[in-house]
Amino acid sequence: MKKYFLINKYKPCHTINQKSSNRIIVICDHASKLIPKKYKRLGLNTKEIKSHIGWDIGAASLAKGIALRLDSTLLLTGYSRLIVDCNRALGHPEAFINKSENTFIPGNLNLSNAEKQIRAKLYCLPYRKKIAKNIDLRLKRKQIPIIISIHSFVPKYKGIKRPWHLSLLYRKDKRLTSLVLKKLKKNKLIKIKINKPYDSEIYNVFTIPFFAESQGFPYLYLEIRQDLLINKKKINNWSRKISKLIKEIIINPKANFILNPSKNILKYYNKKNKII
């Protein structure tokens, strides 16, 4: 039995349950460790490719479990973030990194702008366009999209331990985050942090600010510690807990904030379909 739900097909975006009538969209920006064969592993060995530097270990499995329980559409990136990080603006220095923690990525050294554009076009923009398409689909159905972004983090980074179980990230809009946090705090055994181990303002994450917060759509940006996702039993446990509390919040008639995003709903890409 496989420990994780693994992406083993070479395509930039994987969609599950596209026909869902649910307004929730579950996304996973760092779902895959796959590197296109033409890049020759970017000069890395198998252990390095399988490590946390190239993907969020267990995140795709958790995202799938949550999406299935919510009967929502799931969108997953198809390639390693070492090719291009879909959760960074394409002009950001971390969109094409040449070092992660203590590991150098030889295949990313001295990348030309032309190569960056090729990678963005082939391996990132299809994922972003799929998110935009699913948002537009819900708006046409007169539904307010709710976007749930799933990530995972290592228990220890550069010698510093991260003892909390999960973290909720947000910038200015904490409507859904606050309700989820309130429910999570009822379980005293769960250690929770806000905007840790990353500050979403400082690290310039892209997907949630661009597709959700700038549009006034409610969202949940969840980070969970990777050792809590090491087997199917643990993944099922967390996906059950998270999907249950999300259901409880969304069916609550008092949660009218979900139905009232900002009135200024922007377009997600221009006539040339370029998402930067």
Say what the pLDDT of residue 3 is. Answer: 53
Order of all β-strands in the sheet with 219-225: 13-16, 73-77, 24-28, 146-153, 219-225, 166-169, 192-194
The two tokens of residue 190 are 């769960």
Mean pLDDT of each 10-residue bin along the chain, 276 residues long = 58 95 97 96 97 97 97 97 97 94 95 98 97 96 94 91 95 90 93 86 84 92 96 96 93 62 44 44
Say what the pLDDT of residue 110 is. Answer: 95
Phi then psi for 160, rounded to 5 degrees? -100, 125
Residue 148, beta-bridge partner list: 26, 220
**For residues 179-189, b (16+ Cβ closer than 10 Å) or e, as one string?**
bbeeebeeeee
Q: Which residue has the tokens 């809009």?
A: 173
Phi then psi for 214, rounded to 5 degrees? -65, -20
Q: For residues 25 and 4, what is the distance between their CA atoms, to the nearest angstrom?
A: 21
Q: Is 181:194 a contact under the CB 8 Å cutoff? A: yes
Task: Find, among 238, 164, 162, 167, the residue nearest to 200 by Cα.
Answer: 167
Amino acid occupying residue 225? R
Say what the pLDDT of residue 209 is. Answer: 93
Q: Which CATH number does 13-259 carry?
A: 3.40.630.40
Say what the pLDDT of residue 254 is. Answer: 65
Q: For residues 244 and 179, what is the distance between their CA atoms, to the nearest angstrom?
A: 13
Q: For residues 153 and 158, what is the distance between their CA atoms, to the nearest angstrom?
A: 13
